[in-house]
Amino acid sequence: MGFVEAGGARLHYETSGEGEALVLLHGNSENLGYFAAQAPAFAERYRVIALDTRAHGESTRGDGPLDFARFADDVCAVLDALGIDSAHVLGYSDGGNTALTLALRRPDRVRSLIVNGANLDPHGLGWKFRVPATLAWLAAGLVAPLSKTLAHKRELLGLMVHHPHIPPDDLAAITVPTVVVVGERDPIPRRHTELIAHSIPGAELVILPGAGHACAEERPDVFNAVVLDFLARAETHS
């Protein structure tokens, strides 16, 4: 376990295992504990670095904007502190958005990408995510000035309501091995996930049967097998 100071924030991370670096990025309003069924399995072959995103878990908010560009920069700050030039990056949900943003902003830091349940813009979430998030964000706005807890929750909801904004055409710049993973029952529309996969040159698309958005939690054995198989093949291209 460790902490890195970056952009006024204290970023929390945990490491395990040895080998090529593999970064794990969790989703909105969660923490690195989301990957409880992944980190030990991956650590048998890789040096796993699980992060608490800024303003999540044990990481503080810091100053400045709360957006995916800032989150991507935070990943670089942790890698710098650990003396790691580049890493395989696995991102789930908002963590997937961070992974895509990182690959576009700092391609030199990314060896391969595992993108799970990401979206390129707020509409890409689909109405089952976007409508409840928007309503909760609006409702929290009425009482946020009275509660730091609600103000914090509203800011995190704002990430879903207002971010990200990744043009699909920009994804053509990603040249590292990439797999896009999604549960067959994920509320994110399948066509949006397919757009992400088809926009990244050579990207694979894997649909996990019987799983929803949180497929790593719901089908950990299948999810882990997909990731480890992909990474084994990605290493031969690095």
pLDDT digits (tens, 9 = 90+) for 25-60: 999 999 999 999 999 999 999 999 999 999 999 999
Predicted local distance difference test score (pLDDT) of residue 77: 98
Question: Average pLDDT in the 120-124 region?
Answer: 97
143 has a pLDDT exceeding 80: yes
pLDDT band at 169 (very low <50, low <70, confident <90, very high): very high
pLDDT band at 238 (very low <50, low <70, confident <90, very high): low
Predicted local distance difference test score (pLDDT) of residue 132: 96
Q: Of the residues 163, 192, 217, which one is the last residue of a structural domain?
A: 163
| Shared-domain flag, residues 158 and 214 | no
pLDDT digits (tens, 9 = 90+) for 66-100: 999 999 999 999 999 999 999 999 999 999 999 99
| Shared-domain flag, residues 60 and 178 | yes
Average confidence score pLDDT of the chain: 96
| Shared-domain flag, residues 10 and 81 | yes
| Shared-domain flag, residues 15 and 99 | yes
Q: Of the residues 143, 163, 183, which one is the last residue of a structural domain?
A: 163
| Shared-domain flag, residues 117 and 210 | yes
Predicted local distance difference test score (pLDDT) of residue 41: 98
Predicted local distance difference test score (pLDDT) of residue 48: 98
What CATH number does the domain containing 10 carry? Answer: 3.40.50.1820
| Shared-domain flag, residues 17 and 132 | no
Q: Of the residues 163, 190, 213, which one is the last residue of a structural domain?
A: 163
Q: 193 or 235: which carries more pLDDT confidence?
A: 193
| Shared-domain flag, residues 7 and 48 | yes
pTM for this structure?
0.97
| Shared-domain flag, residues 17 and 80 | yes
Domain count, the chain: 2
Predicted local distance difference test score (pLDDT) of residue 39: 98
Predicted local distance difference test score (pLDDT) of residue 119: 98
Give the domain extent around 141. 126-163
| Shared-domain flag, residues 132 and 77 | no
| Shared-domain flag, residues 157 and 57 | no
CA distances from 226 to 145, 179, 232 (A): 45, 9, 10
| Shared-domain flag, residues 30 and 115 | yes
| Shared-domain flag, residues 145 and 212 | no
